[in-house]
Amino acid sequence: MAVIEVRNLSKTYRVYQKSEGLWAAFRGLFRRRWREVHAVRGISFEVEQGEFVAFLGPNGAGKTTTLKLLSGVITPTSGEARVLGHVPWRRENAYRRRFALVMGQKNQLWWDLPALESFRLHQHIYRIPPGEYERTRDELAEMLGVRELLGRPVRELSLGERMKMELMAALLHKPEVLFLDEPTIGLDVVAQHTIQNFLREYQRQRRLTILLTSHYMKDVAALCQRVIVIAQGRIVHDGSLEGIVERFGRSKILTVQLADGQSSRDFHRYGKVVECQPPRVKLRVPRQGVPELVAAILQNHAVEDVSVEDPPLEEVIAEMFSCVQQQTSQESPSPVSTSSA
């Protein structure tokens, strides 16, 4: 059964176009120019119970706007959405108790108080029975390894420690759906790895439905089997990570280990030389031409080993975004309307 259902969902903002100069500013008091910004353009998708889905896209693509729509923070311009059977922007209390939203750049904890004080406030907001609250709090603190930090003021915690506390606060009421917006932004490798492990284990135990936005491809590769890619407010891919590589990856990385005494000087004729540390040469070659290039290298050189792999996922995603932006660059600009103040 689909937990999240989205049908032709759109969100458009009217942005005031302020002109330069004193006279232009004065005229703007009586006659204003507005520009329409289409943050989300008629997107549709479904998420089943227990899925861990990545929601990817470049800055300004509409990822955070979509999460805000699904959590009821903002109201759409058109379209429909249901989460757990609720229309999010109706902001029903029954729905608020069944989901959680964590934004990596926003804090929900009181800055000068220990996290325990904010947790206690959450207990009363969500009406969690004392015994259940204590069991859940202790379980989450143990899984995240922050038991000894619960009594320290939030402002004294590192960024990674604060994010762990944010996750605890979001999960105290045991939501059925979790929206994560850049939960590992700015964190070091150790903190990222800890949060990845926690989310993977918690989601496995609870069958929680999670929609994750992140610019860290390691988060996506470690946690998500399904990826929805949004660009220019539209969904351009919905499938597996492997599907992105197959669809948008234009090249392969070919690594050749030469036999002793073999020269690597002329390897540029096979492709772009990415790295040359004799007797090893690494090339970037067109995806479609790999068999012919490997055959030519084996015919002309004494080779001990050859390996073919996909380029780093970050590069494939960047290629995809570039391709999508080129396709949409011919679109007409957003209309500008003029109205009297």
- pLDDT of 58 reads 82
Task: Please state the rounded mean pLDDT for residues 326-331.
Answer: 60
Q: Cβ-count burial of 211 within 10 angstroms (0-12 exposed, 13-18 middle, 19+ buried)?
A: buried
What pLDDT shows up at residue 327? Answer: 65
Mean pLDDT of the chain: 87
Residue 334 has pLDDT above 70, yes or no: no
pLDDT level of residue 172 (50, 70, 90 thresholds): very high
**pLDDT tops 70 at residue 2:** yes
CATH architecture, domain 250-309: 2-Layer Sandwich (3.30)
CB atoms under 10 Å from CB of 231, counted, come to 22
Exposed / middle / buried, residue 269 (Cβ in 10 Å: 0-12, 13-18, 19+): exposed
Percent of the chain predicted with pLDDT > 90: 49
Task: Provide CB contacts within 8 A for 184, sequence distance 6+.
Answer: 104, 163, 191, 192, 195, 196, 214, 216, 219
**pLDDT score of 127 more than 70:** yes
Q: What are phi and psi of 264, to 5 degrees?
A: -110, 15
The residues near 203 (Cβ < 8 Å, ≥ 6 apart) are: 50, 52, 210, 223
CATH 3.30.70.1150 in the chain is located at 250-309
For 189-223, how does the pLDDT look when each residue is reduced to its tens digit (9 = 90+)?
Answer: 888 899 999 999 999 999 999 999 988 888 888 89
Are 281 and 258 contacting, i.e. CB atoms less than 8 angstroms apart? yes
Q: Considering only residues 43 and 32, tell me which one the structure prediction assigns the higher pLDDT.
A: 43
Reported as a pLDDT band with limits 50, 70 and 90, residue 259 is confident
CATH number of the domain at 2-98+175-246, please? 3.40.50.300
With a cut of 90, say whether residue 78 has pLDDT above it.
yes
Q: Which residues of the chain are in CATH 3.40.50.300 domains?
A: 2-98+175-246
Q: How many helices (H) and strands (E) does the chain have?
A: 11, 14
State the pLDDT confidence band at 339, using cuts at 50, 70 and 90.
low
Cα separation of 335 and 223, whole Å? 40
At residue 328, the pLDDT reads: 60
Compute the Cα dihedral for 143, 146, 151, 155 and give only its sign: negative
Mean pLDDT lowest for which of 72-86, 119-133, 261-275?
261-275
**Crossing angle of the two packed helices 313-328 and 241-248, in degrees rounded to 10:** 60
Beta-bridged to residue 100, according to DSSP, are 178
Q: Using the predicted structure, report yes or no on whether residue 332 has a pLDDT greater than 50.
A: no
Q: Which residue has the higher pLDDT, 146 or 331?
A: 146
> Taking 90 as the threshold, does the pLDDT of residue 25 lie above it?
no
In sequence order, the 6+-apart residues with CB closer than 8 A to the CB of 179 are 67, 70, 71, 99, 100, 101, 102, 210, 211
